[in-house]
Structures are given as structure tokens and as C-alpha cells.
């Protein structure tokens, strides 16, 4: 399922997002580039603090001060979003590009009914009679698998279960059938059984509506079940990208290898889980070269310079000691 024909719906070029602090600007997103075809689902993976959520918010222009998009380009259906006026950007949010968050209990307003919140999201982009709005909201709720949707419009978020709340939030985000949806860990706060259901339904929704999706997660297992391509992010930069199956089976970047090895399924039962030694450096104290070098067992002097993205077919990696390529090197020498 990789409908990668036609023009990309989203093109991100060298995106940079900075946060002003007392110690100078911290670059949370540093030169991220990728493109997204209509209906495609890609996974953006990394540890907390890797800049994956900030990347998601940057795409919608939702970076609050003291943060700002310092450079680069985000083109949605060919229109440049970086530097667009807030009013213009607002008209596109929710309509052409939408976002789903991690915790539905925090995103939905506890004091308003689901119906009222859906009506607000509808009214943001079109003028509808109250009746038509209710009609449309009920349809959207039914579409994400909420039974007796019409009556449920009168319910408050606390009267829903966790899974139903997230479904309602998804229904709100998809009300206007946007071309792109940024999903920021939307299943992390849910039970595992409900996780699987939601992932299954999101996949179906993406297919039916032709919505392209960026699925942000720290969980490689979730992403591999969903995304055709994986982007791995570390300390604000993309370190590896490529088709999911290839990246998972045969990673190039030692960090990706570490992420795969730390999955419980990669471990023999009874053994300790493998973990990547050390922790992510803070953005204010990044090493001059490869940011992963201090934690990397393959690191050498060559890692003291910032590695460029090496492109090979549909795959790319930012490492001077890529894994799984030794035999090719030997053959070449």
C-alpha cells in the first residue's frame, strides 16, 4: 500500500525550528527534509526530546513564542506555509492539514459536549445550520466507530471511555477531510487492545479519505504496523529514512539499530532488554559532530564532523559508519 504516484501533498525542505533561551537559541528541529505523497502514511520515530513533536507542530505553524521557525520550507499542495500570515494559516489548519494529540482527556474541553466541540470545528471553516452541523458531526462520529453517534453528540468527554475519546478527537481532526494529518502519539495513552483497534481504523480512514499521515511515535512496533516509510529522528535531525520493512530488517544507522534492539520482541524471553547506553544530549550541549557519537559503539574520529545524509535509492542515512554496508565497502576496495 504505497500510493506514491503524482505530486507530493507535503514537501518539507530543510526545516529549522528554534527556541530562544537565556543561553541563546536552541535548535529543536535542524534541517529536516521529507515529502509525503497523497494517502501515504509515514512514521516519525525517536526518543522523547528528539524534536519529533516540534516537527509536527512546525508543520501546522503552531510554534508558540519563544519558539519560531528559523528557516526552511513547508509546502502543502504546492503552497508555502512558512512565513504565511496567521490568518491564512488558520484557514488551512483543520481544513487542509490537521493534528491529533496524545492525550484525548487533555485535548477535549471537559465543559463542552462532544457535539458542541465538533460544531466549533465545523464552524471554523464553513457556515452550516445547526441541524446540518449535527448531521455532519454524527456522521463523522459514526465513521470512527462510535455507536449511536447522534445521541452521543450530547455526551461530555468524561462520559466516554479513553478509546472513544480519542476516536472523537480523530473525528474532529478529520471533519474537513484534510490532505495531511499529523498524529502525535495518538495511541500512547490508550490500552494496548484499543491501540490496535485505533491503528487499524486510522489505516482504513487514511485509505478511504486519501489522507496522508505523519505518525509520530517513540514506538517502532506501532509505526511498523502502520507506515510505509520510517523517518528516524535524533537530537533534532533525521538520521535515517527509508521503507519500513527495509529499515527495520536492515538498519543503517547505529541509533536505529539500538531502537530496534530495545524492542521487547527483539529480546529472548527471560533476558534483560537491550538498551542504548547513555541518554540523549540536551540541545544546549550537542557534540560538534554526529550527535549520537557519544553513545555509539562504532564511533571514531571521523564522527567529529557533522555527517551528511547519504542517499541510496529510497533509503538515506546520516552516518559515516553505516551498518550492513561493510561487505560493499570491502568489495569496492
Partner 1 sequence: MLGFIIQRAIQAVAVMAVMSVIVFVGVYAIGNPVDIVIPPDATQAMRDEAIRRLGLDLPLWEQYGIFAWNLLHGDFGRSFVYNVPVLELIGGRLPATLELVLISILFAAVAGVSLGVYAGVKPDSWVSKAIMGLSILGFSVPSFWVGLILILTFAVSLGWLPAGGRGETVTVWGIEWSFLTLDGLSHIVLPAINLALFKLAMMIRLARAGTREVMLSDTVKFARAAGIPEGVILRRHVLKLISIPLITVFGLELGSTLAFAVVTETIFSWPGVGKLIIDSIGVLDRPVMVAYLVLIAFLFVMINFTVDLVFALIDPRIRSGRQSA
Contacting residues toward partner 1, per CB under 8 A: 60, 62, 64-65, 90-95, 98-99, 101, 103, 106-113, 116, 120-121, 123-125, 156, 158-159, 169, 172-173, 175
- Closer to partner 1 by CB, 18 or 184: give it: 184
DSSP 111-174: TS-HHHHHHHHHHTT----HHHHHHHHHHHHHHTT-SSHHHHTT--GGGS-HHHHHHHHHHHHT
Least Å distance, CB 12 to partner 1, is: 17
Least Å distance, CB 100 to partner 1, is: 8
Least Å distance, CB 7 to partner 1, is: 23
Question: Is-contact 227 215, C-beta < 8 A?
Answer: yes
Burial class (CB in 10 A: 0-12, 13-18, 19+), 305: exposed
Least Å distance, CB 78 to partner 1, is: 19
- Closer to partner 1 by CB, 125 or 136: give it: 125
- Closer to partner 1 by CB, 160 or 317: give it: 160
Question: Is-contact 192 123, C-beta < 8 A?
Answer: no
Least Å distance, CB 159 to partner 1, is: 7
Least Å distance, CB 105 to partner 1, is: 9
- Closer to partner 1 by CB, 110 or 264: give it: 110
Question: Is-contact 317 232, C-beta < 8 A?
Answer: no
Backbone angles phi, psi at 82, to 5 degrees: -70, 125
Report helix angle 114-123 to 162-173, nearest 10. Answer: 20
Q: For residue 149, what is its C-alpha cell?
A: 453517534
- Closer to partner 1 by CB, 27 or 93: give it: 93
Query: In 3D, which of 228, 209, 226, 208 has the Cα closest to residue 217?
Result: 226
- Closer to partner 1 by CB, 110 or 277: give it: 110
Amino acid at each position: 500500500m504505497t500510493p506514491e504516484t503524482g505530486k507530493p501533498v507535503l514537501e518539507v525542505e530543510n526545516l529549522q525550528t528554534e527556541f530562544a533561551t537565556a543561553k541563546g537559541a536552541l535548535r529543536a528541529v535542524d534541517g529536516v527534509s521529507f515529502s509525503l505523497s497523497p494517502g501515504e502514511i509515514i512514521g516519525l520515530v525517536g526518543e522523547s526530546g528528539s524534536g519529533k513533536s516540534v516537527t509536527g507542530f512546525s508543520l501546522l505553524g503552531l510554534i508558540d513564542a519563544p519558539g519560531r521557525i528559523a528557516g526552511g520550507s513547508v509546502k502543502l499542495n504546492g503552497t508555502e506555509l512558512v512565513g504565511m500570515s496567521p490568518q491564512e494559516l488558520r484557514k488551512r489548519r483543520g481544513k487542509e492539514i490537521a493534528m491529533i494529540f496524545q492525550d484525548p482527556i487533555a485535548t477535549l474541553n471537559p465543559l463542552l459536549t462532544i457535539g458542541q466541540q465538533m460544531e466549533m470545528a465545523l464552524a471554523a471553516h464553513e457556515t452550516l445550520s445547526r441541524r446540518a452541523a449535527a448531521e455532519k458531526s454524527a456522521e463523522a462520529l459514526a465513521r470512527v466507530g462510535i455507536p449511536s453517534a447522534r445521541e452521543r453528540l450530547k455526551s461530555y468527554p468524561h462520559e466516554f471511555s479513553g478509546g472513544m475519546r480519542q476516536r472523537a478527537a480523530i473525528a474532529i481532526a478529520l471533519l474537513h477531510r484534510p490532505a495531511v494529518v499529523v498524529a502525535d502519539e495518538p495511541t500512547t495513552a490508550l490500552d494496548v487492545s484499543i491501540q490496535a483497534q485505533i491503528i487499524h481504523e486510522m489505516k482504513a480512514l487514511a485509505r478511504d479519505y486519501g489522507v496522508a499521515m505523519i505518525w509520530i511515535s517513540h514506538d517502532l512496533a506501532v509505526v511498523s504496523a502502520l507506515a510505509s516509510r520510517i523517518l528516524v529522528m535524533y537530537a533534532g535531525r533525521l538520521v535515517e529514512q527509508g521503507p519500513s520493512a527495509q529499515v527495520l530488517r536492515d538498519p543503517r544507522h547505529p541509533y536505529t539499530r539500538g531502537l530496534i534492539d530495545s524492542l521487547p520482541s527483539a529480546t529472548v524471553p527471560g533476558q534483560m532488554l537491550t538498551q542504548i547506553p547513555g541518554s540523549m544530549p540536551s540541545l544546549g550541549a550537542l557534540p560538534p559532530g554526529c550527535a549520537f557519537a557519544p553513545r555509539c559503539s562504532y564511533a571514531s574520529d571521523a564522527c567529529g564532523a557533522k555527517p551528511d545524509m547519504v542517499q541510496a535509492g529510497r533509503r538515506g542515512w546520516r552516518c559515516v559508519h553505516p551498518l550492513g554496508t561493510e561487505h560493499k565497502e570491502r568489495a569496492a576496495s
